[in-house]
């Protein structure tokens, strides 16, 4: 943690109702917007009343960054003077957060914005957060309209497409040799614009094109993830497990054929089963009951279709939201099975630091309610550059060419969001 616990500010938090439902993206400023949006509902925030940067750890799979985040949040929330006229999940003080995929990578962060606008279940609110000794933020200033991205130049990322396919082939060999069951291999590509990239332009396109996904912006990570790691309201916990993918078909007939192929594919069902088994195993010590359907359903997005299983559980008393996030991460959907061997293989073969890609991203309020997704279908946007990421679950039956095509389908989300 860069800010020592005793250096964290004391916060005065006020939540008041808004008469009209806000256009959440339109309220955001162009610089460092914070957002968590789905179907017009969610939270939009800006400014930094408090920022906690969490240190990297020595171990490949540590929970220290989550425990440090919990300790800082507890300290901030306990010391806050809160008046909340709404009392819904997401009203009152809220922290947005993004955690690195690998415990050893630096970059995990929590931000408590100075202003949050929220909308949920027909109710809208405005929250202001003022650190001690500072003035009220100006919430009346209108934001300038989102700017187009302009022409882009694309570069290979840490590996070329060919190099990545070779790394996938190497992973398949090691799986066939019995080293592990599944590993998720990811790649990156880089886009460079002429001027700065306005994250709100990307948010607006993502929210329009991927209404079933969670559109997010947290400290430069911008994307639309279909994968809900955890939603917590009171003691109820929900999660959406995804694993197993096909593209969408060009015609309804082809689309239905691809869906049928996905449902019947032994390879994809195996990948999915690893993800469900890992969810059950990690939730069991923290939750009193874990319910997941016997057979996965289908989640159809504009670019791909996934095998999907909604799971529900009841949190045991004393378990905190970030405890559960820490226990779940990395799921088999983004790491592999067994987890430790998969994380090590990712470090051996991927040739890049994932940063906050494939790590937990989301928000948490003062009562511990919150929504955390896995940062997929996203890019790290900084100035005029964007680094896009996509990964694929690799099992013994995987074909590197098919996985390359799948990663292209997943990269499409951010390629299109960046294209005017």
Positions annotated as catalytic residues are: 182, 227
Of 226, 243, 176, 214, the closest CA to residue 362 belongs to: 214
Question: Which of 12, 105, 201, 245 lies at the binding interface for ligand ISJ (CB under 6 A)?
Answer: 245
Binding piece for ligand ISJ, criterion CB under 6 A, among 73-81, 118-126, 169-177, 391-399: 391-399
Window 181-200: residues binding ligand ISJ (CB under 6 A):
184, 186
Window 38-57: residues binding ligand ISJ (CB under 6 A):
none
> Please, which residues have CB within 8 angstroms of residue 219's CB and are 6 or more apart in sequence?
32, 34, 96, 98, 109, 111, 356
Q: In angstroms, rounded to a whole number, what is the distance separating the alpha carbons of residues 28 and 20? A: 16
Question: Which of 242, 276, 287, 315 lies at the binding interface for ligand ISJ (CB under 6 A)?
Answer: 242
3-state secondary structure of 365: strand
Tokens of 254: 């082809």
- CA 292 from chain center: how many Å? 21
Smaller CB separation from ligand ISJ, 207 or 411: 411
At residue 231's C-alpha, the angle toward residues 227 and 234, to 5°, is 170
Q: For the chain, report the end-to-end CA distance as a whole number of angstroms.
A: 39
Binding piece for ligand ISJ, criterion CB under 6 A, among 58-66, 97-105, 236-244, 292-300: 236-244
Smaller CB separation from ligand ISJ, 305 or 369: 305
Smaller CB separation from ligand ISJ, 149 or 392: 392
Does the protein bind ligand ISJ through residue 333 (CB under 6 A)? yes
Question: Which of 393, 395, 409, 417 lies at the binding interface for ligand ISJ (CB under 6 A)?
Answer: 393
Does the protein bind ligand ISJ through residue 311 (CB under 6 A)? no
DSSP 276-290: HHHHHHHHTTTEEEE
- Strand-pair category, 236-247 with 228-233: antiparallel
Total of residues contacting ligand ISJ (CB under 6 A): 17
Closest CB 244 distance from ligand ISJ, rounded Å: 5
At residue 320's C-alpha, the angle toward residues 313 and 113, to 5°, is 115
Question: Which of 376, 395, 414, 418 lies at the binding interface for ligand ISJ (CB under 6 A)?
Answer: 376
Smaller CB separation from ligand ISJ, 95 or 333: 333
- Looking up tokens 């994250």, which residue turns up? 199
> Please, which residues have CB within 8 angstroms of residue 196's CB and are 6 or more apart in sequence?
30, 383, 384
Return the beta strands (E) in 62-151 as ranges. 81-84, 94-98, 108-112, 115-120, 123-131
Closest CB 326 distance from ligand ISJ, rounded Å: 19
Smaller CB separation from ligand ISJ, 319 or 376: 376
3-state secondary structure of 28: coil
Closest CB 410 distance from ligand ISJ, rounded Å: 4
Closest CB 286 distance from ligand ISJ, rounded Å: 21
Does the protein bind ligand ISJ through residue 227 (CB under 6 A)? yes
Q: Across-strand partners of 387?
A: 190, 380
- CA 191 from chain center: how many Å? 20
Binding piece for ligand ISJ, criterion CB under 6 A, among 115-123, 155-163, 312-320, 388-396: 388-396
Does the protein bind ligand ISJ through residue 390 (CB under 6 A)? yes
The binding site for ligand ISJ (CB under 6 A) comprises 184, 186, 227, 242-245, 306, 333-334, 376-377, 390-393, 410
């Amino acid at each position: 943690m860069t800010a020592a616990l005793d250096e964290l500010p004391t916060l005065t938090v006020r939540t008041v109702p808004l008469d009209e439902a806000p256009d959440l993206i339109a309220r955001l400023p162009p610089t460092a917007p914070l957002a968590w949006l789905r179907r017009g509902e969610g939270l939009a925030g800006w400014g930094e009343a408090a920022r906690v940067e969490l240190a990297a750890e020595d171990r490949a799979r540590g929970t220290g960054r989550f425990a440090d985040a919990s300790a800082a949040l507890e300290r901030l929330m306990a010391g806050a003077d809160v008046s909340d006229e709404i009392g819904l999940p997401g009203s009152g003080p809220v922290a947005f957060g993004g955690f690195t995929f690998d415990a050893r990578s630096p970059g995990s962060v929590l931000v408590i914005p100075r202003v949050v606008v929220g909308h949920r279940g027909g109710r809208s609110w405005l929250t202001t957060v003022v650190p001690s000794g500072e003035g009220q933020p100006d919430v009346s200033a209108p934001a300038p309209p989102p700017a187009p991205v302009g022409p882009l130049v694309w570069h290979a990322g840490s590996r070329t497409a060919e190099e990545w396919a070779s790394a996938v082939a190497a992973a398949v060999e090691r799986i066939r040799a019995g080293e592990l069951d599944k590993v998720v291999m990811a790649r990156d590509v880089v886009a460079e614009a002429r001027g700065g990239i306005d994250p709100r332009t990307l948010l607006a396109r993502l929210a329009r094109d991927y209404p079933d996904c969670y559109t997010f912006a947290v400290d430069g990570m911008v994307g639309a993830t279909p994968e809900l790691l955890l939603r917590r309201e009171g003691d109820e916990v929900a999660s959406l497990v995804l694993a197993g993918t096909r593209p969408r078909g060009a015609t309804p007939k082809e689309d239905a054929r691809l869906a049928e192929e996905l449902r019947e594919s032994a390879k994809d069902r195996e990948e999915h089963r690893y993800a469900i088994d890992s969810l059950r195993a990690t939730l069991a010590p923290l939750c009193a009951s874990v319910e997941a359907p016997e057979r996965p359903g289908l989640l159809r997005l504009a670019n791909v279709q996934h095998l999907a299983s909604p799971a529900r559980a009841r949190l045991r008393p004393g378990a905190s939201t970030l405890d559960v996030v820490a226990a779940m991460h990395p799921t088999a959907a983004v790491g592999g099975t067994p987890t430790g061997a998969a994380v090590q293989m990712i470090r051996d073969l991927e040739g890049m630091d994932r940063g906050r890609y494939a790590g937990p991203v989301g928000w948490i309020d003062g009562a511990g309610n919150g929504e955390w997704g896995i940062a997929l279908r996203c890019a790290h946007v900084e100035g005029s550059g964007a680094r896009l990421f996509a990964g694929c679950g690799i099992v013994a039956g995987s074909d590197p060419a098919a996985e390359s095509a799948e990663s292209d389908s997943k990269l499409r989300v951010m390629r299109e969001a960046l294209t005017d």
